[in-house]
Structure 1
Amino acid sequence: MLEELEVRNLGPIRSAVLTPDKGMTAITGETGAGKSMLLSAIQLISGAKASVGRVSAGAESAWAQGIFDVDENGNAAGLAQDAGVLDADSEETDPDPDEIGRRELFLSRTVPASGRSRAVLCGHSVPRSVLGNVAAELVTIHGQADQLRLASPARQREFLDMAADDGVERAAYRQSWEQLQAMDQRLNTVTNQEASTRQRADYLRESIEQINKVDPKPGEDEELKGKRSRVENSAEIAQGVGSALSALDASQVDSDSDAQGASDAITHAIQALRTIHVGGAFGEAADRLESLNADLSDIVFSLSNEVDSDEDVDGLDAINSRIHELDELTRRWGPTLEDVIAWRDKAAFEIEDLDASPEKVEEIKAQRKQAFDVAMKSAEALSRKRKLAATALANTVTKELAALAMAGSGLEIRVVRRNVASNKPTGKNGETQTASDTWPLDANGIDDIEFLFTPFPGSPQLPMGKSASGGELSRLMLALELSVAEKRTSGSRDMTFIFDEVDAGVGGKAAVELGKRLSKLAQTSQVIVVTHLAQVASWADTQFVVSKGKAAAKAKNAGPKATVETTVNEVTGDARIHEIARMLSGSESATSLTHAKELLDESRL
């Protein structure tokens, strides 16, 4: 949702701040006052191409910034985080409960009078394309210059999929499509092997044979090196362990020895302390000595086992030979034996793909045929859901158009399934493709989608975007957005819809219906409409008036080079009634004021 739009030195607007309502906001004003500059500002922060001609006369640069309140888990926040301008872990120390899970994104654009423009996202300079990608998740502009966005088949397919709510079917198809692509890659590999591929297969087989001949075990080399070290130092180990045991418990070395060891001394000390019947420190000292004696007994036991172990000095050569074999493996396929074993297992799978024997090729072809059948089945399920949604969406849109003063106009959505047997793509030399042939499937299914619009009775059906005026297309887009409003927003207001020229050629009762439908859309999304009709503006929750302000009047007296300046102000209460009256009749007579008040009172859902 757009929380604030600030503009400086853009055309006739020297400085303006717009704070749209979360519902419907109307922007009104006399023709030529500069309403289009606000739309230009939004286009700039949406990544549109900058024009130095829009910089106010005498200013060094124009600047626009939009502050958006977004879901921190939404696509826009995700794109900002991917761009490195949003810290995923930052949190307010005392957040408002209503703001938990929300983020603010700052999108701004500076256009100098000379030089290149600068795009900034949350205080960080970014490429204009990044700003455009983020804004595309936040703002949808429906104006004469912005209707072509739904003219492409890809956009039309995306819109229909949203209306169809076919996420489950698309996910199933995407998975089967990726499996089919993987099988195509394997089949291409085995059927188009060259000498280098055969050499690779031979190398893998020889390598696997060498590894299997040695038959390494994980960690075996480290274990052998430890054993070798013990064998090489067995005499030193025996002497050291014997001396330690003699000091700790001589009976472990010589059962007939009467010498007192450390363990006996500690035992005597414990007994002496236990004879003291004054508690406190003496008892605690005895407890600590008992704990120490238990640890000492464990050490004596461990060292005694070392004395009993018999290192095989004669097997040292065998140990060194085995270590050498294992070192050769880690040198070539290491650095560890675990890496060697993993490489061998992976190589075994790779050899299967490099095996170009006729039997192997036929096996992969059969697997590929099975993957193709699964993908076709998923594509057909997706196609059925699209066709049902296309009929329902077209009927709903056509009904909405009738209420928007476009009776007799209509929308048809064609979901055309590609023919399996005909129009099959061919290779470079005209031959039919085989291994990589996925016709009639592509990454999006089996359908070609086309939106055809009839703008008036008797008009032929023409591709959307090439068949109507800006106002007619704006109303078509409004009808489309109304038809999918709940599915698009899912109850959130992250998307902002901006309508320009939507009221062109509309008046009377149709204008009231137009305003009513804009207000209906504003129940689930933020709506900003640039309008000259009071019947539309009256439905808005908030209204801003663009007009030539005091600064402009002073500018007129400044001389022949003076420029026209524009102000943007919110109107409420009586001021709004006066503005609606002006829009109704061009005057603010008692009659028009009364009519304006009645219109505002009646413009409620």
Structure 2
Amino acid sequence: MLTYLGIKNFALIESLELEPGPGLTVLTGETGAGKSIILAAVSMLIGQRAASDLIRAGSEQAVLEAQFLLDPASDPALRLAEEALEGEEGELVVRRLVSREGRNRVQVNGNLATLGLLADLGPELVSVVGQHASQALLKSEEQLWLLDAFGGLEEQTLEVGQAVRAVRELDQKIEEHRRALQMREQRRQELERTVKELEAAGLDPEEEAALKAERNLMANSEEIAALARQAHQGLYAADGSALETVDRHRAVLSQLAELDPSLKETAARLEEAFYLLEDVAHQVRDYEAGLSFDPYRLEWLEERLHGIRRLTRRYGGDVAGALEALTQAKEELEGLDSGEQRLEKLETQREQALAQAVSLAKKLSQARREAAPRLAQAAEAELAQLSLASCRMQVSFNQPGGAALETGAGPLGGRGLEQAEILIAPNPGEGFRPLKRIASGGELSRMLLALRTLVARRHGAPTLIFDEVDAGIGGATGAAVGQKLASLATAGQVICITHLPQIAAWADRHYAVGKTVKDGRTATRLSLLDEGGRLDELSRMLAGGGPESTARQHAKQLLDSARQAKLSL
């Protein structure tokens, strides 16, 4: 139960305090006074994201605070105990500071906490039915949620959603694996081409240098032959050759050594030089004779060297690098499995996950079809108390739209095998038609109240807040809605923002919201009304330009009638 709400520097509110208390608390006031701003503050205190533009002009931060009284066995109390954030005697104090720079600070029972924690606790603390809830009721998603909430099927719906997400995650993994397989096959083909090309090349670390040397010889073969011929002529063949000259002086030195034995060694060395020179001359002759020029061989050498350069540019920069690339390609090929077994395993897992999801969804479908007539019957009983005694209701089911999984049981969405659609027959003799096609604003408001009442009874929400649930209704119907809210408030706290005096008359605690101007600034004012104040406020709401005395008399009748009727609730 919400026991205190404090708001500072928030939109039109400079400072405001609200103490709802148990039962039905009503807020009334003229349009634009700030009633919905109070509701916005509550929404932010239960986890809604903050907007810095809601900070009051001239202030740097807004301060919001709420105090709740918790049942020690409730889920919020247990969650706070798990987080070591429990308060004294079941009290929960939530404080939120919002700065103009966009910084937020959340405190739970005096300790720093996260916005995520507030969002988790929020639905267990307060259920807010806002101004646009009637329009939301026209959507099949909201209608399905109401059916699940009434039937207590939220856990089953959650399980189906988790199972469907598991299938979709496997679909994503399968798609990613298939892409990986495709890339792996492309890589395999690339590696195979590399190995084939390098092996076919038959590279040798010593080959390039040898080929270059041979190519250089063949490219300079004419000059080499001329030089070899010149050397042979000078050494041996020509008149006055080096060998002939040495031979002549060899004989002279030999004679000299006979005359002077000390020159024998010198003569022997010249003798040795003669034969060495003769051997060199023969080698040059043989070298010259062996010289040949083959243009086809030169062309082959150029092509081979070009091929080596092409491979080394592509693989490693030199022959050693290309050979290393060959080794690495072979090793990578050996470690590159096909991955087909992994794909088959994922596909098997997907089949199993889909079967599980379908099984859960079928059970949920059966439970929904069993809950649907119970919801319709219970809603009709509630509507009868809201001046719609002739209204009949059915729930039909359609296949889900959007990105549904195709199954043998039909399309499977994140919330099951079906969408729900509420059909109504407002008047006797009329057929059932979709709510969104025929319901008036007043019928929608009462339908929303009836369904929310059923859900609240099922879940026992501690605090229900209705923002203008009176849209499109008035008079006796408004009184019926007020009685329904008062009845609902006997089981839990209800806060209602209303423009109808017929509803406000049922309040256990009545606040009037107004505006005041001080020092040229407009601010929201909140006043807890006593009996006289309530009579004044209802008279204002009823006057509408008519006689004040008549409005005041009518207001007193409304208060007396509601007070008497509440005795039997």
Q: 1:478 to 1:568 in 2, by over 3 A?
A: same
Match of residue 516, structure 1, among 472, 479, 483:
483
Residues 1:540 and 2:537 aligned together: no
Conserved? CA contact 2:56–2:62, under 8 Å: yes
What RMSD in Å do the two structures reach over aligned CA positions?
Answer: 4.9
Deviation at 1:467, TM superposition (A): 7.9
Instruction: After superposition, give the CA deviation of every residue in 1:449-470 in whole Å (9 maximum; x if it has no partner).
Output: 3446789999995576x98777
Displacement, 1:132? 3.7
Does the CA contact (< 8 Å) of 1:75 and 1:137 recur in 2? yes
Residues in 2 aligned to 1:36 and 1:105: alpha-carbon distance in whole angstroms: 22
User: Taking structure 1 as reference, are residues 16 and 188 closer, same or farther at Cα in structure 2, changes over 3 Å only?
Assistant: closer
The answer to whether 1:36 aligns with 2:36 is yes
The within-5 A match list for 1:8-19 is: 8-19=8-19
Within-5 A mapping of 1:491-530? 493-494=461-462, 496-530=463-497
Q: In the superposition, relative to structure 1, how do residues 584 and 438 fare at CA in structure 2: closer, same or farther (>3 Å)?
A: closer
1:138 matched to 2:125? yes
AA at the equivalent of 2:448: M
| TM alignment of 1:277-288, pairs within 5 A | none
More helix by share: 2
* 2:6 corresponds to: 6
* Number of residues of Structure 1 aligned to a counterpart in Structure 2: 409
Distance 1:468 1:133, change over 3 A: farther
**Structure 1: distance between partners of 2:180 and 2:12:** 68
> What letter matches 2:524 in structure 1?
T
Contact 1:577 1:596 in 2 (8 A): no
* Match among 104, 120, 144 for residue 118 of structure 1: 104
What's the CA shift for 1:156? 4.0
Q: Which residue is 1:404 aligned to?
A: 386
Residue equivalent to 1:384: 366
Give the whole-Å Cα distance in 2 for the aligned partners of 1:392 and 1:460: 17
In structure 2, the residue matched to 1:276 is none
Identify the residue that residue 281 of structure 1 maps to in structure 2. none
- Post-superposition offset of 1:516: 0.7
2:525 matches 1:567: yes
- Taking a change above 3 Å as real, the CA distance of residues 2 and 471 of structure 1, as seen in their structure-2 partners, is farther
CA distance in 1, matches of 2:182, 2:514: 77
Which amino acid letter does the alignment assign opposite residue 87 of structure 1? A
Q: Which moved more, 1:373-382 or 1:137-146?
A: 373-382
Residues 1:173 and 1:462: Cα distance change in structure 2 (over 3 Å):
closer
Q: Map of 1:161-560 to 2, 5 A cutoff?
A: 161-166=148-153, 356=341, 376-401=358-383, 403-405=385-387, 412-416=394-398, 440-441=411-412, 444-451=415-422, 473-489=444-460, 493-494=461-462, 496-548=463-515, 552=516, 555=518
- Structure (1 or 2) with the larger CA radius of gyration: 2
The CA deviation at 1:191 is: 11
TM-score of the aligned structures, taking structure 2 as reference length: 0.57
Sequence identity, in percent?
Answer: 30
Within 1, Cα distance between the matches of 2:354 and 2:113? 42
* Cα offset, 1:37, TM superposition: 2.6
Inter-CA distance 364–566: structure 2 relative to 1 (3 Å threshold): closer
Q: Tell me the SS of whatever aligns to 1:137.
A: helix
Correspondences of 1:52-67 after superposition (within 5 Å): 54-67=54-67
Secondary structure at the aligned position of 1:161 is classed as: helix
Query: Does the 8 Å contact 2:8/2:62 carry over to 1?
Result: yes
- Residue pairs, 1:41-80, within 5 angstroms: 41-48=41-48, 50-51=50-51, 54-71=54-71, 74-77=74-77
| Residue 119 of structure 1, CA deviation | 4.5
Q: Conserved in 1, the CA contact under 8 Å of 2:28 and 2:499?
A: yes
TM-score (norm 1): 0.54
Q: Contact 1:143 / 1:470 at 8 angstroms: preserved in 2?
A: no
Q: Is the 8 A contact 1:581 1:596 kept in 2?
A: no
SS in 2 for 1:532: coil
Displacement, 1:573? 3.5
In the alignment, the residues of structure 2 paired with residue 564 and residue 182 of structure 1 have an alpha-carbon distance, to the nearest angstrom, of: 54
Give the secondary-structure state (helix, strand or coil) at the position aligned to 1:564: strand
- The whole-number CA distance in structure 1 between the counterparts of 2:471 and 2:413 is 40
- Measured after TM superposition, the shift of residue 169 of structure 1 is 6.1
Q: 1:467 to 1:19 in 2, by over 3 A?
A: farther
Which residue matches 2:324?
Answer: none
Unmatched 5+ stretches in structure 1 = 93-98, 198-353, 427-432, 556-560
Aligned pair 1:598/2:560, yes or no?
yes
